[in-house]
Structure 1
Amino acid sequence: MTELGIAMIGHAFMGAAHSQAWRVAPRFFDLPLRPVMSVLCGRDAERTAAAAERLGWAEAVTDWKSVLDRDDVHVVDICTPGDTHAEIAIAALDAGKHVLCEKPMANSVAEAVAMAEAAERAARHGVRAMVGFSYRRVPALGLARDLVAQGRLGRIHHVRAQYLQDWIVDPAAPLSWRLDKEKAGSGALGDIGAHIVDATQFVLGDTISEVMGTLVTFVPERPLAASHSGLSGTASEETGPVTVDDAALFLARFAGGALGSFEATRFANGRKNALRIEINGSKGSLAFDFEDMNVLQFFDGTEDSAVAGFRRIMVTEPEHPYVGAWWPAGHGLGYEHAFTHQAVDLVRAVAAGTDPTPTFADGLRVQRVLAAVEASSETRTWQQV
């Protein structure tokens, strides 16, 4: 096999990002298999056909189950709301298709367990599954992981993680599917909190073992949107309930002994996409902010105190993770590049017959953290993960 046929389910925000990745990956990276954008699936025939034309897909269909029997489809890429992930992913894996599933992997631990079990069954037959935690593929966070793994920070003491956005600060912003628990599973906790849970566990090479947290909904009612297909829509005079959290805060203990504090909110006025991580260890510290995504701050505590200080590393050198395939040093990457790196890693893993990361088992681990935070908010107690 020289080609890898892709069927993508969903074509809104994440669908556009994934489409960009599939188009670009084989043009900048030397891949063992060539991704082919075979078919796009959506609910509305006219809108799906228009999206396929715009995004570069060869064909458009409205029945996602129809792609499971196609010989020209090898990978099913799931970019739909969370309430559909489990059904699509399990069916695709059982049909022998590799799966890339957007985060959070599921809307509940029970769904995530079923998905992880399906992935384990499929792996016995060489079928692979991957969760789309794209921020793992930001070169600066890849470098951060390398520095931690090399022992440059020593024993890890503290982890601080924030994901700050402001796109629903306005109470007149319309109700979308992301504010509906049945479709989204949770609000800021699952939508963006899941990212900082995965990213910190990835950078540390460690897992969260215990949490204590609280969830808050600041605006309990919002105008109904004429369309629930994305982050915005035309508001009507009728309102509906917001059934998810607007903000989530929690403390965490890691299995290796580090303490963590996490904050995820879509009400941080002025913050557009501030995914921030700071790690303090016995020998040094790291700090990252996605709003300055090509930079990693590094403090080497072993240096002479007279000259020691945080070092601003431009993560654009060819030896940095992924960067060598792109531009000359100093020419930064953007949001979309992480999705390209994700596609590259999946293609290479499929060709090599190895499990891509993060696996569905990793996605389940994140789901257990999210569930523990929800339980802690309800009981006001520490919860084991």
Structure 2
Amino acid sequence: MPTISKKGQLMPESPIRKLVPYAEKAAKDGKQIYHLNIGQPDIKTPEVALQAVKENTVEILSYSRSEGSETYREKLAKYYDRNKISVSPKDIVVTTGASEAIAFIFGSIMDVDDEVIICEPFYANYIAFATAASIKVVPIVSNIEDNFALPAIEEFEKLITPKTKAIMICNPGNPTGCLYSEKEVKQLADIVKRHDLFLISDEVYREFTYDGNSHFSILELEGLDEHTIMIDSVSKRYSMCGARVGCLVTKNENVRHTVLKFAQARLSPPTYAQIASEAALNTPQSYFEDVKNKYIKRRDTLISELNKIDKVKVATPKGAFYCIVELPVKNADHFAQWLLESFDVDNETVMVAPASGFYSTPGIGINQIRIAYVLNRRSLVKAVNIIKKALKVYKD
């Protein structure tokens, strides 16, 4: 019988989506499920983006340029300029979601068995993209005890080998909600320059920073144009996850030229979604202020309720809309499945994402979950109460 590839066997399941069959079964059984498992905001997409698609006068839905439409890239450059990031439209390659940007970057700067250093826990799909590119993720562990702060630079130094091609960060972080300061980003800049590496930064949550903190982009670094590659997306910023439009931004001409070859191979990013994304750039600042205030209140409510549960440990996010929660259980994967299969409170239960899938080091994070606080505060309180009651009766 024909067999699948070793690469296919190594490709990990999504820790976010692998429990979907159990959730579907619970829903068919009539249970209401509070979805804390996935970063799908309940915030309304800006009307200006939706109207742009409804009212467009396109008569032939044709290909766009492989690097994305010129008008969209021009407006994106102006958006970045308003955020203290000076780039030109030619520095931008529009992609089918940030996911494709990551795949293009890995394919453009790394060969088989090359290495990228990433702080863990990290966005689970980084492992999937690395597997697809036949490269190796070298994890550097951050800890819940210090709110998943950036590990000491000396620890990065210890991991650098002749195979190391890049250091990659997510800032603000998914799944931790950590936010790296300007000082920390500059420390990373020093090390990539010293070792002649790339610095890749996934900045799709840049609008969501809290407690007076602000976001500092790697593209604000001086003298590092040949080393930096930034990843972005409309998914979270405008609550447009289904648009599947992202981009990568770099001033490194060789990287852009190589990425463009990958972009040409897949022809072009989606036309209608680019129309919506271009229009979304006209969203007023008040939209973001309102959204941020909602997330701050949700975060504070979630952390407060979780801290009421005995033996539960939670890191306080400074950005994005996720947090890692350590539970008094041996196996959070089993607990998450059990919640859907065997537990409810008044016919209601909760879906969470086991955190082990956000680590690549075996045995770490197995008693942790990631919570996305993308529900209203009342729902968050009810969801945490269900978890609290579940922990009282759950047997490992």
Into which bin does the TM-score normalised by the smaller protein fall? 0.3 to 0.5
Ranked by relative contact order (alpha carbons within 8 Å, sequence separation 6 or more), the top structure is 2
TM normalised by structure 2 equals 0.32
